[in-house]
A and B are shown apart, each in its own frame.
Chain A
């Protein structure tokens, strides 16, 4: 296969392209869903496909197909170069930042390869998770999802980079529903790791499923959240959402370059309070957002984006690093062969500080403590974000009091970061799939407990 890829790269150059990048991917994947003791679906699949990216005089052409016959590949290449020509322009050339040429083979350590584990064993783990959740109370209903993915990737570029990468990961998602007298409340948990099937042992699947059900049950007693402006203390998971949604997306250099990020022109400037230090680190072994190399063949790294409130860097790919004269950070990632690499986060988190949780809340007269993420969304162009929490509690005179439900909060990125008035020394991190430009990407986000002033809460009480 590698020879075929190198042949395509050469053909692309012969056709006149300035740069050619070919990515072959073969993946094995299984998705299983269990609802209330019943296997709703279990779909294994193997897929192969190719992505070709060509650059011609400032125009990018991209072509993808799963027809990997030699004619299929030749036709895909011709289309990629043709599209690059159609996109080209005399006015603005693309200068790719020079990347170290690498020839390497890397793989995520795997003890039990996913494709060799019989599917009934995977189903069994999920059925046990479902049983643990529903065992908590007769009213509990549960939806449990298992998703595994093992891929082999080959990347060849016209700069001479040749990479063989093997990845493997396992993901669980648990939704528990509790009901009482017509009221239904739900709680979700997600956990994931890089590795083979053996990582399920380390993930406490049953324990976490049981805990999700207990949390859902507890939410039945919660009161609707109030609306208005509050001092809010968020846990590490919500801090992660803030790191990812509110600031991470705005620090992606493609958004900065297009002028659709509020962080444009802010490099070296203060964008947050002294408590704010933000890191994107793709190098933590086993963590769900980690990579060896990105999909342009650039080595994955640990980057400090914000240091004590000062913006230190953006996440880049070769194009944005070249145009903006920034260091390469190895953040060009593609969902799979159907997509071109774009600038994405990996494991993004706030650095812990030195306060305890009690110290964070002790001088709050009337505020809210919010825990656990229920999804978020951001518009980096306008600098606004929204996210939901799974649990929330009213803080009165420095003490946690009654539990709240249906809590969601929003704010302006730059104001919010400046309103961080305390950071705890604890830390939590959570896996997620982030959507951008139609691509879903695995990542994690996290941080410590943080206190933020003047957060808009969208409650209805």
Chain B
């Protein structure tokens, strides 16, 4: 069955079988990926290719004020009906939820561009393997202290459809390709990791050679040991390092569920200064070519551009329709959906903007500080207090504007509120890493422990 037919069928049947409201979400996802390793001892090996094709449909039914979900991976009438019956039965045994008002009403989908590149349907696997082979050899030859190089490609595309009993009927296609290069080196017992990946909606818009260049650069710098004293320092986070921290320390804090339940340190802070006044954060589901751009969100609400922080002032949380009804406002289009699970709130393209300087100047102006390309342990952030304590790794010491070498075992601790206040400036090297659209960002006076 075509996806749009399947979701329309599911909604229609759910109403017939006793639901007061219903929606259905279906997807077919395809992914091809390849990977290979070049290891100093064994040469190029460990070549593997995978292919995935998964489909499924999830239904949500409301019986009175009781809402329940079920799903099936077989897109045939009988299986869909079976899932609907399970959901309705479940809705009937669940306690009604007084906060549930309605599924979202129908509105025209956002007009978005650049989210589907048809050429990904037949990915150039042989060519990709050849490029990977070349990069693996080049990178290994770049330095005698390099021991392992890993590289690969992934090509994915999906069809998605959403319908509900209030008239929503949307289907769309999206695609994504990614590539990356990771290098491990070792010199005098110091291990160095240089890695870089790129993701794009379009097949041809990732550059494996650029990734290799950047990976080689940091794997080389990492072979030199550098020192820094504990204390308050200038820290430049690259987007690779920031994405995890922002996800666990900020996105969760502006998630309306956590806010409404009083579990977020940002509860009750709308309209207050929560970050440096230089900083503006926008969550945009409509950004052209954005990795999180779609015409509608996971429950059919049109994608939007929402200001979350404007000049340091908290302007909005991220909502789906349920939390929006509860706060008596409109959804921000941040409902995330997979056919297996219930609707949750998730970021779209999360754009960090502020005071922009050239990336070289950003580093060039630092007398003594750190360049952080990764953090470990962001997931242990306490969202109730905003307290985080992460290991900066890989991290590099900057002295008089130069990156002089790697520092191991440096921990950064504090609260995310404090960190947002310490925002100083950002570079002009904007990239998208997952949901995050950001360049390198500089914070002043951040406490580090060693």
Binding site for B on A (CB under 8 A): 31, 33, 35-36, 38-49, 58-67, 76, 79-80, 83-84, 86-89, 91-92, 118-120, 123, 141, 143, 177, 179, 183-186, 224-225, 227-229, 257-260, 262, 323, 338, 340, 374-379, 381-388, 405-408, 410-412, 456-460
Out of A43, A378, A456, name the residue touching B69 (CB < 8 Å).
A43
Q: Are B125 and A377 within 8 A (Cβ)?
A: no
**Is B68 located at the chain interface by the 8 A CB criterion?**
yes
In the assembly, what is the distance between CA of A185 and CA of B382, in Å? 8
**Is B48 located at the chain interface by the 8 A CB criterion?**
yes
Q: Are A45 and B44 within 8 A (Cβ)?
A: no
Q: Are B90 and A456 within 8 A (Cβ)?
A: no
**Is B156 located at the chain interface by the 8 A CB criterion?**
no
Out of B41, B230, B263, name the residue touching A141 (CB < 8 Å).
B263
25 chain-A/chain-B pairs, Cβ below 8 angstroms: A38-B97, A41-B342, A43-B341, A44-B90, A45-B70, A47-B340, A59-B49, A83-B49, A83-B50, A84-B49, A87-B47, A87-B49, A89-B44, A91-B43, A92-B42, A186-B384, A340-B50, A382-B191, A382-B393, A384-B409, A386-B390, A387-B377, A388-B389, A406-B413, A458-B391
**Is B385 located at the chain interface by the 8 A CB criterion?**
yes
**Is B193 located at the chain interface by the 8 A CB criterion?**
yes
When distances are taken between beta carbons in the complex, the residues of chain A under 8 Å from B1 are none
Among B32-40, B206-214, B297-305, B364-372, the stretch that binds chain A is B32-40
Within 8 A of A (CB), among B41-61: 41-56
In the assembly, what is the distance between CA of A35 and CA of B126, in Å? 50
Shortest A431–chain B CB gap in Å is 17
Shortest A146–chain B CB gap in Å is 14
Binding site for A on B (CB under 8 A): 32, 34, 36-37, 39-56, 68-74, 86, 90, 93-95, 97, 125-126, 129, 147-148, 150, 184, 191-193, 230, 261-263, 265, 340-342, 376-377, 379-380, 382, 384-385, 387, 389-391, 393-394, 408-409, 411-414, 447, 449-450
Q: Are A259 and B47 within 8 A (Cβ)?
A: no
In the assembly, what is the distance between CA of A227 and CA of B51, in Å? 47
Shortest B74–chain A CB gap in Å is 8
When distances are taken between beta carbons in the complex, the residues of chain A under 8 Å from B384 are 177, 179, 184-186
Supplied contacts A60-B49, A387-B377, 20 more A-B pairs, CB within 8 Å: A38-B95, A43-B69, A43-B341, A47-B56, A62-B49, A62-B51, A66-B55, A83-B51, A87-B47, A119-B90, A177-B263, A186-B382, A375-B379, A379-B376, A383-B191, A406-B387, A456-B449, A458-B389, A458-B390, A458-B411
When distances are taken between beta carbons in the complex, the residues of chain B under 8 Å from A225 are 389
When distances are taken between beta carbons in the complex, the residues of chain A under 8 Å from B230 are 227-228
The 9 closest A-B pairs by CB, nearest first: A458-B411, A227-B449, A184-B384, A388-B380, A83-B49, A41-B342, A259-B148, A408-B389, A386-B391
When distances are taken between beta carbons in the complex, the residues of chain A under 8 Å from B93 are 118-120, 123
Q: Are B391 and A31 within 8 A (Cβ)?
A: no
Q: Are B54 and A185 within 8 A (Cβ)?
A: no
Q: Are A228 and B449 within 8 A (Cβ)?
A: yes
Q: Are A183 and B380 within 8 A (Cβ)?
A: no
| Interface-centre pick from B68, B94, B389 (highest chain A CB count, 10 A) | B389
In the assembly, what is the distance between CA of A61 and CA of B384, in Å? 45
Out of B41, B341, B376, name the residue touching A410 (CB < 8 Å).
B376
In the assembly, what is the distance between CA of A381 and CA of B382, in Å? 28
Shortest A248–chain B CB gap in Å is 16
Shortest B412–chain A CB gap in Å is 7
Shortest A71–chain B CB gap in Å is 12
| Interface-centre pick from B192, B379, B391 (highest chain A CB count, 10 A) | B391
Shortest B109–chain A CB gap in Å is 26
When distances are taken between beta carbons in the complex, the residues of chain B under 8 Å from A388 are 377, 380, 389
Shortest B344–chain A CB gap in Å is 9
In the assembly, what is the distance between CA of A386 and CA of B412, in Å? 12
In the assembly, what is the distance between CA of A39 and CA of B100, in Å? 12
Shortest B393–chain A CB gap in Å is 6
Given A39-B94, A228-B449, A381-B193, the answer on whether A260 and B49 have CB atoms closer than 8 Å is no
When distances are taken between beta carbons in the complex, the residues of chain B under 8 Å from A456 are 409, 411, 449-450
Q: Are B393 and A83 within 8 A (Cβ)?
A: no
When distances are taken between beta carbons in the complex, the residues of chain A under 8 Å from B409 are 384, 410-412, 456
Out of B69, B72, B261, B394, name the residue touching A36 (CB < 8 Å).
B261
When distances are taken between beta carbons in the complex, the residues of chain B under 8 Å from A143 are 263
Q: Are A460 and B414 within 8 A (Cβ)?
A: yes
Residue of A nearest to B344 (CB): A41
In the assembly, what is the distance between CA of A80 and CA of B71, in Å? 27
Given A40-B342, A92-B43, A259-B41, the answer on whether A338 and B261 have CB atoms closer than 8 Å is no
In the assembly, what is the distance between CA of A58 and CA of B450, in Å? 45
Q: Are A45 and B340 within 8 A (Cβ)?
A: yes
Given A377-B379, A456-B449, the answer on whether A45 and B71 have CB atoms closer than 8 Å is yes
Residue of B nearest to A80 (CB): B51
Q: Are A386 and B377 within 8 A (Cβ)?
A: yes
When distances are taken between beta carbons in the complex, the residues of chain A under 8 Å from B42 are 92, 257, 323
When distances are taken between beta carbons in the complex, the residues of chain B under 8 Å from A86 are 34, 49, 125-126, 129
When distances are taken between beta carbons in the complex, the residues of chain B under 8 Å from A377 are 376-377, 379, 391
Shortest A403–chain B CB gap in Å is 15
Q: Are B47 and A227 within 8 A (Cβ)?
A: no
Out of B34, B86, B184, B382, name the residue touching A44 (CB < 8 Å).
B86
When distances are taken between beta carbons in the complex, the residues of chain B under 8 Å from A31 are 341
In the assembly, what is the distance between CA of A411 and CA of B147, in Å? 23
When distances are taken between beta carbons in the complex, the residues of chain B under 8 Å from A62 are 48-51
In the assembly, what is the distance between CA of A384 and CA of B191, in Å? 10
When distances are taken between beta carbons in the complex, the residues of chain A under 8 Å from B412 are 458
Given A59-B47, A460-B389, the answer on whether A64 and B376 have CB atoms closer than 8 Å is no
Shortest B179–chain A CB gap in Å is 16
In the assembly, what is the distance between CA of A408 and CA of B414, in Å? 12
When distances are taken between beta carbons in the complex, the residues of chain A under 8 Å from B390 are 386, 408, 458
Q: Are A41 and B263 within 8 A (Cβ)?
A: no
When distances are taken between beta carbons in the complex, the residues of chain B under 8 Å from A67 are 53, 55
Given A87-B129, A258-B148, the answer on whether A60 and B47 have CB atoms closer than 8 Å is yes
When distances are taken between beta carbons in the complex, the residues of chain A under 8 Å from B262 are 141, 177, 179, 184
Given A42-B68, A406-B387, the answer on whether A88 and B47 have CB atoms closer than 8 Å is yes
Q: Are B340 and A460 within 8 A (Cβ)?
A: no
In the assembly, what is the distance between CA of A33 and CA of B192, in Å? 42
Out of B94, B342, B413, name the residue touching A460 (CB < 8 Å).
B413
Q: Are B40 and A92 within 8 A (Cβ)?
A: no
When distances are taken between beta carbons in the complex, the residues of chain B under 8 Å from A47 are 56, 73, 340
Out of B54, B70, B191, B449, name the residue touching A459 (CB < 8 Å).
B449
When distances are taken between beta carbons in the complex, the residues of chain B under 8 Å from A58 are 45, 47
Out of B39, B265, B379, B389, name the residue touching A257 (CB < 8 Å).
B39
When distances are taken between beta carbons in the complex, the residues of chain A under 8 Å from B265 are 184
Shortest A86–chain B CB gap in Å is 5
Residue of A nearest to B79 (CB): A46
Given A87-B34, A257-B42, A381-B191, the answer on whether A141 and B261 have CB atoms closer than 8 Å is yes
When distances are taken between beta carbons in the complex, the residues of chain A under 8 Å from B387 are 224, 405-406, 460
In the assembly, what is the distance between CA of A397 and CA of B36, in Å? 54
In the assembly, what is the distance between CA of A80 and CA of B54, in Å? 15
In the assembly, what is the distance between CA of A433 and CA of B368, in Å? 40
In the assembly, what is the distance between CA of A407 and CA of B262, in Å? 23
Q: Are B52 and A258 within 8 A (Cβ)?
A: no
Shortest A317–chain B CB gap in Å is 12
In the assembly, what is the distance between CA of A43 and CA of B343, in Å? 11
When distances are taken between beta carbons in the complex, the residues of chain B under 8 Å from A224 are 387
In the assembly, what is the distance between CA of A410 and CA of B126, in Å? 42
Given A410-B411, A458-B411, A458-B413, the answer on whether A42 and B389 have CB atoms closer than 8 Å is no
Residue of B nearest to A178 (CB): B384
| Interface-centre pick from B47, B193, B387, B408 (highest chain A CB count, 10 A) | B47
Residue of A nearest to B222 (CB): A382
In the assembly, what is the distance between CA of A388 and CA of B380, in Å? 6
When distances are taken between beta carbons in the complex, the residues of chain B under 8 Å from A39 are 94-95, 97
Residue of A nearest to B391 (CB): A386
